[in-house]
Chains A and B, each alone.
Chain A
Amino acid sequence: MGWETRERGGTYYTRSRQENGRVLREYVGAGLIGELSAEADRIDRERREVEKLKEKQDFERLATLAAPILELSEAADILTRAHLIAAGYHCHKGEWRKVREHYST
C-alpha cells in the first residue's frame, strides 16, 4: 500500500493484495479519494495490529495458566516410571514388561 508518483506529476494511492499466490495492485485514486482511502487503510491496519497483540496476550495468559499441569504431568510420568522400574519392570518399545529374573536383583 502506498502513494505512487506519476511521470506527468501528482500522486496516486494504490494498495496491493495477494490473490492465488499473485500480487495484485489496485489503483484507488488521487487527491481526496486517495487520502481518504489511505487513512481508512491506516486505521484498519492499526485495528488489526491491536487485535493481533490482544490475541497474543490472551494466548500467553492461557499458556501460563496451563504451564503447571505440564510440569505436574511430567513429574507424574517420572514417578510412575520410577515405581514401575523399582517394581521390576522395564519399558520395551513403549510397552512395560517384567524384567527377567537374572537381570533383577
Chain B
Amino acid sequence: MSTTALELSGDVKERIRELRALSDKAEGGDKEARRELRRAVRESAPEVIARCSDTARTYRRLLAETASGGDMLVKEAISERATMLAEEVAGENPTPLEVLLAERIASLWVLVELLEALHAAYFSRHNTNRPTVTYLLQMVKFQESANRRYLSAIRELARVRKLQSNTPAVQVNTQINLGAGERH
C-alpha cells in the first residue's frame, strides 16, 4: 500500500511553511509580518485549506479500506459514517477552516476506530495467535496517541468557533434613510 499519493503536494507544503514563518514573526511582534500574514490568509490559505481537506477525505477512504479488511460493504459503511460525522461536526455554513478541522476529526475518528478494532481482535478468545507483550505495549501507546490527537482536534475546532464568534469576518454597515413623509 502506498501513501505517497496522499501526501500534501510540494507547493502546499511550501505555503504552509510560509504561513508558519509569518505566524512566528507576527507573534514575535513584527507588524509588517502580521500585515503580510493577513494578506496570505486571505489570498492563499483558502486554497491550501481546500487541498488539505481533499487529502483528508482521500486518506479517510484508505483507512476505511484497511479497517474493513477488504469487505466492500463495511468499507462503504465506515466511509459514509465518517463523511456524515465530518458534515455534522462542520455544521451549517462552515468556514473553510472549520471544514478542514471537521475533516481532521472524522479522519482521526476512523483511525481510533481501526486501532480499537485491532485491539479487540488481539484479545478475542478466537485469536489463537496472541501478540507479544512488547507489541501490545507499542500498540497501546499508539492508540493513546491517536486518542489524544482526536480529543485535541475536537477541542481545537471548539476553540476556533468560540474565537471566530468574537471576531466578525465581515463587518456590515447598514444605513437607513428615513423617507421625508416619516419625518416630523
A-B pairs with beta carbons under 8 A, tally: 122
> By the criterion CB–CB under 8 Å, are A65 and B100 in contact?
no
Residue of B at shortest CB range from A96? Answer: B163
Looking at chain B's contact residues, is the secondary structure mostly helix, strand, loop, or mixed?
A: helix
The digit string for B1-45, where 1 denotes a CB below 8 A from any CB of A, is: 101001110001000100110110011010100110110111001
| Chain A residues with CB under 8 A of B164 | 87
Q: Which residues of A contact B159 (CB under 8 A)?
A: 96
- Chain B residues within 8 Å of chain A by Cβ, number: 57
A-B contact pairs, 19 of them (CB 8 A): A62-B142, A65-B66, A68-B59, A69-B107, A69-B108, A69-B111, A71-B8, A73-B149, A73-B153, A78-B19, A78-B23, A79-B49, A81-B20, A82-B22, A82-B41, A83-B160, A84-B163, A86-B26, A96-B163
Given contacts A62-B142, A78-B23, A79-B49, 15 further A-B contacts (CB under 8 A): A59-B138, A59-B139, A59-B142, A61-B1, A62-B118, A63-B142, A67-B3, A69-B107, A72-B52, A72-B56, A72-B59, A73-B108, A79-B97, A84-B163, A96-B163
